[in-house]
Structure 1
């Protein structure tokens, strides 16, 4: 232990007496911090609106528009109008589509969105038999930057979703407004009362008409009986002649009323058009027959005998009319059954609820029926804070690598320690590496927390993780250099490169090639970063201590390399050093 302390004290005495050495030590402490701070600041919030709004994306429309039911629409212009209020991307609106595309080739724009001439026409093609999908032409410059296309692709997707949402919303609003129009028209014609629906009122009206048809059937039966017996006809005519005209005229008015109802229900598509058409034809024929009866009675001038004679000649027409009436009665019964079935179905109840909704609200709902409520688990304020653990760990590794590259790991006998063992030399010199490494860790964490201002739920644990990381990394590279000399330094660089690519630093480990997924659990970066992430976003259980515990295992491995593996490699390192000196150019 005495020799260890003597080696350490002798090192610092020589450093303190050499101004250049002091400056170098200070530089060694500061450089890793600068590396971390610059990288964290450069990645502070690259996906925020303030940053992405500076990415230029051209938008141009050649859309000629389309006519739908006499209404002119231009979806291309509608998209441009909507994007003018969107600040997530730096939209540049070009009047000429060719200029927009050329701007992408020239590198003036990262991407361009072009609405072709037939965009609106294809958007409305679903109303025709020749339906085709509209397309927005998208141009992207993937040479200019590797990340920019990912951001502009999201902008393209956002525009596509906006177009689809607007289109679906417009169609839904139109359907509801059309249903409202039918409902209003029905109200104007008196087909609604109180809380009754249109279907309820129509059913009631048709039941009334059905009972009237039964009355008409009774009248026709009586008239036909008149023709069977002249004497009976004269007696019956004598009994009914005073009121006959009024009865028939009253029934005629009832028929007219029923025809009016049919016109309204047919216009609103409430009753099947085929059924309503047959019903209207039947009512028309009966109405004509009733007109004929009124005319016959008028021709008789109150003369019962003459009226009886005219009735007899019309007997065939009356029988035909009764047949039509019977068929109409059957159709009416069938229609009533269908209406009752519709009214009792769940679909009709759902239709009533839809018609009762606000058109704008329903359109908005249908265009985006599902809203995702995000509950952030371990929320991190910005990208810079999320990446702070990676850049801090990387800077500590770089700091340890610079140490072994500048400060000698070998100890020569001095007056203060003329004799020492390999173990004493190993630990005596390492104390200097440890202290400079701890200064690096302290400076970088203080800068992260109070200069950069990263998010951190536990600053003390953040520093503690950095301190343990610095200890593990410094002794690991120190041991590699003690055991293998310059080859050990090269190994440290190789291991760093592998860790940057394969420790899940910038991309999830699941998306990396298989070779990285297999070595992921054997890299010290993995556990150092995970421990720091626990202090940035929030701690789960004992994970923080578990990661630090696994990280310390690498320190044990490093000590074994430095104390055991280094001994048989000593002669080989001497030969390598001798060969380097002989070259005259190698350090």
Structure 2
């Protein structure tokens, strides 16, 4: 169309006059249209060629995409098959092979270790065999020499027998009938005859064991009296009641019950058929043993409170095997053979055995005297030591009651007063006394948690170590058990001492808040308490203690006058 338009324009220009400007313009326009037509034709040809190339490229790309898609599909299926083969067959087989290799290596290592041990053991066995062969060789040589000597001796005996047989000496010795085979057999079967003579016959095994269980009953009965009933006697309604009178009153009340228990027990065992050569002697020994055991348990209980009761429990367990109740003391361990004379059960059981089996010399009276000695000694312990433990017992009773784990009982003993020296130091220079006391108390407070933790750790660690030693060593077990019990007692005592020190510091710190007049009055109260202690000692019948108290009272009186004067 552009070429036709150029021809039309050129025809129009030919109709115009030559040389005119309009004709020139139209010819120029026709030339321009021809150029544009040619350019458009050239561009159209180029576009046609490009289109042809694009179509061929698209076809080639489509073929390549189809080939790529086929290749990808083939590769995917191949990879899936390979993965299935790899993870489903190859890797499990490799793992199984590695496991088998590891097991084989372990077995081989164990076999090598066993072979090394076997080689070492074989070397030891060979060394022992070598030594044994040397010993056997020397033994065989020695045996050969012995046999040579025996052969010569047998030859001599043979000649002697032949000579003896040819003579008539044998017939003269055994008679014409020869040796009596029955008598020789009887002699060989029983060369000796034992004739048993019972010095103290018993009707039953129970009669022999009755003393042990009766003494055990008396001890437990006395202990239960202190557990069930009050061990303190108050002075309500009885003015002027001293500590000694309280102690004697409570003991005599419990003693009446203990004697009734002993009598009932003796009557019961006699009714059951236990043998006795003297029933009154048995009942008297039982009553005295009960009183002695009650004296021991009562003294421990009122003097050391719960710790004393624990000691009583330990004592009963120690006395069962160690007081000749089960076996003769010669059949027990050296430990029990060394300590059995210290047990009251030893003498209680001995006295009752005398009354049951029969009397031997003065053994019955000797055992009763020792029981009476136990009674007196522990009675003195309770009367003299108990007032000295007043503050400690009050502290322990208060802490037991506050703890809520055990039943606590109030201690009716008056609080021990401050020492005269403490009151005098406070009177002389209260500020210096308070400063020094506070410094000591601060030092104690720094050490108090460490001491308590150390006691707790040692209280657990030492028994554990002893238990390990008990299980792993052939050490005599009774020594380890005794050491364990002693250590527990030591820990309890250490804890009581630590708490007593803290309690004492707290009491002494109260002195700095008192006036001089109050301190002087406190001094007078202290002297009154000391005089009351002297009266208790006098009432208890301890003359030495009474004289010592008199000397202390005189000395304290002089110091009191000096303090009042100042």
Q: Is the pair's TM-score, using the shorter chain for normalization, greater than 0.5?
A: no
Say which structure is richer in helix. 2
Normalising by the smaller structure, the TM-score range is 0.3 to 0.5
In the superposition, the TM-score normalised over structure 2's length comes to 0.42
Q: TM-score, normalised by structure 1?
A: 0.40
Structure with greater strand share of residues: 1
